[in-house]
Structure formats: C-alpha cells, structure tokens
Amino acid sequence: MIKTRLISTGLICAAFLLGAPEMYGQKTPGKDQAKTPVNLKDPQNLGPALSAKQQDSLAKTSKYRDLAWTAQADKKWQASFNQEQGLAYLAESRLDDTTQTAQRQNLQERLRVLDKKTIFDVAYHPSLESVIHLFLTEKRDLMERMLFRSQYYFPLFEQELDAQGLPLEIKYLAMVESALNPTAKSRVGATGLWQFMYDTGKMYGLEVTNYVDERQDPVKSTQAAVRYLKKLHQVFGDWNLALAAYNSGPGNVNKAIRRAGGNRNFWAIRPYLPKETSGYVPAFLASMYIFEHAGPLGLKAAPLAVPRHATDTIQVKQWMEFGALAKELSVDSALIAQLNPQYKKQVIPYVEGERYGLRLPVEAVGRFVANEKQIYAQLKPAEQARRAQVEAMVQAAPAVTRYKVRTGDFLGKIADKHQVTVKQIMQWNKLKSTNISVGQSLIIHGKNTGSSPAQNAVAASEKSSTSTTNQSDTEWYEVRPGDTLWSIAQKFKDVSLDQIKQWNPQLGNNIQPGMKVKVCSCTP
C-alpha cells in the first residue's frame, strides 16, 4: 500500500523523545544509585488507598491481588474519563502545542523505523509530536497503568485481530477508547473497552439487560469491534480513515473527504472532522509509538500475578452472587469482578437457554469443578435471598429507551406517544426549553416512572376524584404546565385521547398552559 506522507517543517519540541527519564520528572540514576522501578502494586500509584479491611483481605489472597489493586486505577480513570472524554479529547486539546527542540530528528528516525514495521501511516507530523509529548509528561502515570493492564488485555486483542486478518496494532485503539478499562462509560453512554453505543452494540450482537452488559465483556466486545473495523476498512481502504470512522461515523469521514477536495490523507481531512476525531488518530499513533518504545522511554510495569492465560471459564448452572462465590472458592470478590466486568450487579443470572460464563483463575476453576454440587448447594440459600433483593431492585428500576426525534415531532406529541408528560421528558433530558431538533436523542423512561410511590398515589387519588366528577360540571378543562392531551384524557372517566382530539379539532397536539380544552360531548 502506498502511503501519502505529510512532512511539516519548523522548529518542534521533542526532547522527550530521546527517552531521557529526567525529562519527565524522573531522576536519572548515577553510578552509585540504583534505579528503582515503579511499583504498580502500591495503591499510591493506582488511585485512592484501600481501607484497612480491604488491604487485610487482599493481603490474605496476595496471589490474586494485581487485578484487584488495578481496580483502584479503574475508579481513578473512570472519574477522569467522564471529565476529559478519553485520550482523543486530550490529544485534540494539544494538537498544535509544540516548541523548538534539537531532538526532532531522533523522533523522525524512530517513526521511520516504526513506519516500516506497520501497515499504518506513522509519518512524522507536528501534531503527532505534540500528543506524544502530552502522554509522556502530563499523562505518564496513566500510560504506566495502561502498560500494566495491557499484559492482560493485549493477548486477547491480538488473538481476535489475527483470526480476522487485521493488523495487530489495532490493539492500541482500546487505549484511546477506554484506557483499557472494561467498565469505562462516556458522558454520551458509550461503554466498555471499545466504547460501543447502545444501538451499535445491538447491531453487532452485544446484549444489554438489567444484569448483563456485553459491551463490557472483553471477549464479545472485542469480537464485535474487530468485525466493525474490518467493515470500515473495506469501505475506506485506508486504516487511518477507518479509525476516524470508528470514532465519528462513516458519514463524517466522507463529508471531510469531500470538503478536502477528495484528498483521502488523514492529515489533509483532519480540519474538516469533528473536534474530538481530529485528535483521535494522533492519539492512536502516539499510543502505538509509546508502547513500541516503552523500554527506551522509561515506562515500566510490574508483572501480572494472574495473567489471562492463567484463567479459564465455566458455564454456570445457577444464579449466583460474586461475594458468596468468593467465600466458597477463597478468591477475592474484587478479582472475580475484574475478570467478569460484563455483570452489572456482581451477580450471574441463570436463564433457560442462555449461556452465561464465569472466568476464574485456573486453580479456582479446578476447585469449582471438583466440588460443583457442594458449591451449588452451599450457595442456594444465600443466593435465593440475594436474588430476591436484586430482582426487587431490577423491577423497581424503570425501563429506559432512547427516542430519536423525527420531522414533525414536538415534546407534546412524543409525550403522548410514550404516555408520559412533557415535564418528565424535560427532567430526564435536562432540557431548559421545549425546543428540540430532528435527530436529537431523548431518554424516555417507562410509563409512570420518574415519580415516587407517594407521588403516584397522589396522582391516582387525583385521577379517581376527577373521574367521579359529573361531566356536566367539567365541560372545559384549563391546561396546566406539563399537561398533554393524553394526560388530560386520563383525568376523566370514560374519556379517550381520540375523543379529546375529536372535540377539540382546532388544537391539534400543540397545547399551552391556560388554554381551555373541551372534555365532554355535550353541546354549549
């Protein structure tokens, strides 16, 4: 494949690219000073410290502690991810922040060598240099945490990529998407290692229920991401463009190509891409560069105590909760949660015809298989009590759907369709006005949700008292804030929405507070 290269001139800051530790806040060891490696098991390096009880629990299961410790990093990254929108956002904010250095040639040479080893176009660009600098300075601690996690996730990614004939370097894309956090969630709802939106996940077979979110399943989400990326590459014939389309959608990339006069080089179309996507590919290339040169750049990670090849899966035959299972197997529940992030409530459901797996360290799998009947029997009483508790929570939680605004829609019409009020839709979506636009996504909760039991009781009482009122005394109804034609019809006995519309043809669906609505067939 012929790669189009865009080499920029100018004085660029790249002293950090020599890999000199002192450039990033590290001390350079002298002749008599031993270099101390970064201890990634230290909670100070992985986020908030654990409680004394948690530390004692982990100390008793030290052979499982690595992934349990890294859970603290997950929490720390989760907070920064929601605030910063991932590495692509960080990259976008620093794309053109570069200064002079005499070491630019060193970076260019390294990139030339890397370019020969990969199918991706990693030619030098000032924006790429700026992102590398950002990641190696301000986000160096995050890079080391991801280097630690990559030992667990990269073998899985490489296996799935190789099976589909895709470049193994695509594994670095998950760093940009989620910082290798399987439970990462963006402010717009993208979830998991590969940040699938709900609809896209459904298209690629990822199940989302009250108990399970397969977008957080490392295996299934990786398989889905690989299929999606393969399709995008077939469309664009260029991996940089395929990655940009993964982030912003094929439509935005095609639009950027047209605005760039048909030029299909990423750097040429970057000014025409959405703001975050403009930093997306540079973030990917910077991540690839840093991890391919982790040693020379001074990045270190402690080895995993439980690497992926030291785990295995079993199919469960009974509803079970992580905490109770952990006690039976003498495995820390935090480790079980880390190995099985797809289970949202730390319980594994049992549904006839469905196959739900449990990943455990191989030693624990052996103990489980050898004592399977006894373990199921021991778990039964505790599981029944816990199951009743969780299912009560699930039933109490409202069903949530997303509605995409169509031409001709307005909040009153949407509220009528879903049998909710305009006020509820505005509250659920934090709308400051009733103005909506075509294509806008709205969160809609199930019927009568968003109210407390007391509020529902009051509403039922009001409806009952209103329904028993003589219709001759309630010929007209004055519209109140939040009312819709459907909600008005519900206030009166034997009055339907169709009747309200028939008696008030002049209103259509557009009603405002203070209007009078006829609520009976009586003549004036």
Could you tell me if 391 and 413 lie in one domain? no
What is the CATH number for 256?
1.10.530.10
Verify that 383 and 408 share a domain, yes or no: no
Yes or no: say if 8 and 120 are a contact pair by the CB < 8 Å rule: no
- 111: tokens are 């990139």
Phi-psi region of 515 (alpha: psi -120 to 50; beta: other; left: phi over 0): beta
Give residue 260's pLDDT.
95
pLDDT at 103 exceeding the cut of 60:
yes
Lowest mean pLDDT among 77-81, 115-119, 500-504: 77-81
pLDDT, mean of residues 335-349: 92
Q: Are 392 and 404 part of one and the same domain?
A: no
Q: Give residue 520's pLDDT band: very low, low, confident or very high (50, 70, 90).
A: confident
> In terms of DSSP bridges, do strands 320-321 and 347-348 run parallel, antiparallel, or are they unpaired?
antiparallel
Residue 438 pLDDT level (bands cut at 50, 70, 90): confident
Distance of alpha carbon 305 from alpha carbon 446, whole angstroms: 45
Average model confidence (pLDDT) for the chain? 75
Q: Determine, yes or no, domain membership for 224.
A: yes
- 481 phi/psi in degrees, rounded to 5: -55, 135
Mean pLDDT, to the nearest integer, of 130-156?
Answer: 92
Q: Which residue has the tokens 């012929």?
A: 2
Rg (the chain; Cα; Å): 28
- Cβ pair 505, 471 in contact under 8 A: no
Residues 439 and 508 in one domain: no
pLDDT value at 45 more than 60: no
Number of other residues whose CB lies within 10 A of the CB of residue 85: 18
**95 pLDDT band (50/70/90 cuts)?**
low
pLDDT-derived band at 160, boundaries 50, 70, 90: very high
- Looking at the chain, the whole-number percentage of residues with pLDDT higher than 70 is 70
* pLDDT above 90 coverage of the chain, percent: 33
* Mean local confidence (pLDDT), 460-480: 50
The DSSP code sequence of 459-485 is HHHHHHHHHTS-GGG-SEEE--TT--H
Residues 92 and 192 in one domain: yes
Residue 144 a catalytic site member: no
396's CB contacts (< 8 A; 6+ apart) are none
Confidence category of residue 109, pLDDT binned at 50, 70, 90 = confident
How many CB atoms neighbour CB 163 within 10 A?
10
74 has pLDDT over 70: no
Point out the domain boundary residue: 233, 257, 292.
Answer: 292
Residues 327 and 440 in one domain: no
Average pLDDT over residues 227-236: 95
Calpha distance 87→277 (Å, rounded): 11
Average pLDDT estimate for 13-37: 34
274 and 422 within one domain: no
- Of 258, 292, 326, at which residue does a domain stop? 292
Domain-embedded: residue 49: no
Highest mean pLDDT among 4-13, 339-348, 391-400, 424-433: 339-348
Residues 214 and 355 in one domain: no
Amino acid at residue number 124: Y
Q: Which of 292, 322, 355 is the last residue of a domain?
A: 292
pLDDT band at 256; cut points 50, 70, 90: very high
The answer to whether residue 14 is domain-embedded is no
- By mean pLDDT, which of 58-72, 191-205, 240-254, 470-484 is the weakest? 58-72
Region 266-285 average pLDDT: 89
- Burial per residue of 237-274, b for 16 or more beta-carbon CB atoms within 10 angstroms, e otherwise: ebbbbbbbbbbbebebbebbbeebeeebbbbbbbebbb
Q: Which domain holds residue 409?
A: 398-450
Regarding predicted confidence, which is higher, 386 or 172?
A: 172
Do the domain assignments include residue 248?
Answer: yes
Alpha helices in 96-207 (DSSP H): 104-117, 126-137, 140-163, 173-178, 198-203
299 by DSSP, 3-state: which? coil
Mean pLDDT of 430-434: 84
Q: Could you tell me the pLDDT band of residue 365, with boundaries at 50, 70 and 90?
A: very high
- Which one of the listed residues 129, 160, 177, 383 is annotated catalytic? 177
Q: Determine, yes or no, domain membership for 25.
A: no
Listed residue (355, 350, 354, 346) closest to 313, CA to CA: 355
H or E, element range at 512: none
| Domain-located, residue 67 | no
Closest Cα partner for 387 from 399, 397, 395, 398? 395
Q: What are phi and psi of 148, to 5 degrees?
A: -65, -50
Shared domain for 366 and 496, answered yes or no, is: no
Angle in degrees, CA 393, 394, 400, rounded to 5:
125
**Which token pair is 116?**
């020969």
Q: Are residues 129 and 196 in the same domain?
A: yes
Q: Is residue 302 part of a domain?
A: no
**Residues 258, 224 within the same domain:** yes
pLDDT of residue 351: 81
Give the pLDDT score at 178.
93
Q: Is the pLDDT of residue 37 over 90?
A: no
- Give the pLDDT confidence score for residue 396 in this predicted structure: 58
459 and 483 fall within a common domain: yes
Tell me whether residue 158 is in a domain. Answer: yes
Among residues 245, 390, 273, 269, which one has the least CA distance to residue 324? 390
Phi, psi for residue 38 in degrees, rounded to 5: -70, 130
Reply yes or no on whether the pLDDT at 11 is more than 50.
no
pLDDT in tens, 389-427: 666 666 655 567 788 888 888 888 888 788 788 888 888
| pLDDT band at residue 446 under the 50/70/90 scheme | low
CATH number of domain containing 410:
3.10.350.10
Kindly report the pTM of this predicted structure.
Answer: 0.60
Number of domains in the chain: 4
Confidence class of residue 67 from pLDDT cuts 50, 70 and 90? Answer: very low
| pLDDT for the residue 399 | 64
pLDDT value of residue 473: 41
